[in-house]
Amino acid sequence: MLLKKTKKLEIQIDEFLDKVLNGGLVLKQGIKYYLNNQTEHFEESLKDIDKTENDADTLRRTIETKLYMHTLIPEQRGDVLGLLESTDKVLNSCKEVLFQFSVEKPAIPEEFSKEYIDLADTSVSAVECMIAAVRSYFSEFQMVRDNINKTLFFEKESDKLADKLKRDIFENKNLDLSGKMHIRYFVYHVDEIADAAEDVCDRLSIAVIKRYG
């Protein structure tokens, strides 16, 4: 009976992680649509990520209540809840970035499109690896380390790309300073998603040490 409830909860945790992963992919796609001026598709992505984020929030709350009600040993419970919450923050950041594109409509010159797409790709790769790390924390402990390392690698890559892109933006002769500063913020926002993924991995490393150290 209790084991059945546990199994159901496992499925819900998996679904939650699916949603975060999905959010990352939608973000990547949304940025591409924006840069390619495919407005309709971009708006669809926006709706999509909004719904995903709402669903994930509801799911997270259900999971948290259930965890408190009847499953985990409390000492682990805190770690798991913290992990899920920080994972949710990654999804929130993805949604936030896409909404900022929609609200502020930054005028990004075409020459920077590729760099923005690369940056989004790398940042979302960090999210993908982070999700894999969280999944392995739950069910395949030995893979946690590998996945954390991959996440950290992509986070660093994303930092490098962001740094280069910012330099390129400010070296550009055709943009005025306000334009440069505006599109610079979007570099910062996209890069921040990888940072959020890194934060999850930092938490994960501690949780692993606490559990198996």
Q: Which residues bind other proteins (CB under 8 A)?
A: 2-3, 6-7, 9-10, 13, 71-76, 80, 137-142, 210-213
- Tell the smallest beta-carbon distance from residue 186 to other proteins (Å): 37
Rounded Cα distance between 89 and 150, Å, is 20
- For residue 110, the 8-state DSSP code is G
Q: At 35, which amino acid appears?
A: L
Rounded Cα distance between 120 and 40, Å, is 20
- Tell the smallest beta-carbon distance from residue 76 to other proteins (Å): 6
- Tell the smallest beta-carbon distance from residue 98 to other proteins (Å): 32
Q: Which residue, 138 or 153, has its beta carbon nearer to other proteins?
A: 138
Which token pair is 113? 């499109």
- Tell the smallest beta-carbon distance from residue 7 to other proteins (Å): 8
Residue 47, CA distances (Å) to 23, 50, 119, 189, 192 in order:
11, 5, 23, 19, 22
Q: Which residue, 65 or 139, has its beta carbon nearer to other proteins?
A: 139
16-37 core/surface letters (b: 16 or more CB in 10 A; e: else): bbebbbbbbbbbbbbbbbbbee
Residue 146, CA distances (Å) to 4, 169, 201 in order:
31, 35, 11
Which token pair is 97? 């970035």
Q: Which residue, 8 or 114, has its beta carbon nearer to other proteins?
A: 8
Q: Which residue, 67 or 119, has its beta carbon nearer to other proteins?
A: 67
- Tell the smallest beta-carbon distance from residue 22 to other proteins (Å): 21
Q: Which residue, 3 or 107, has its beta carbon nearer to other proteins?
A: 3
Q: Which residue, 36 or 139, has its beta carbon nearer to other proteins?
A: 139
- Tell the smallest beta-carbon distance from residue 212 to other proteins (Å): 6
Rounded Cα distance between 17 and 56, Å, is 8
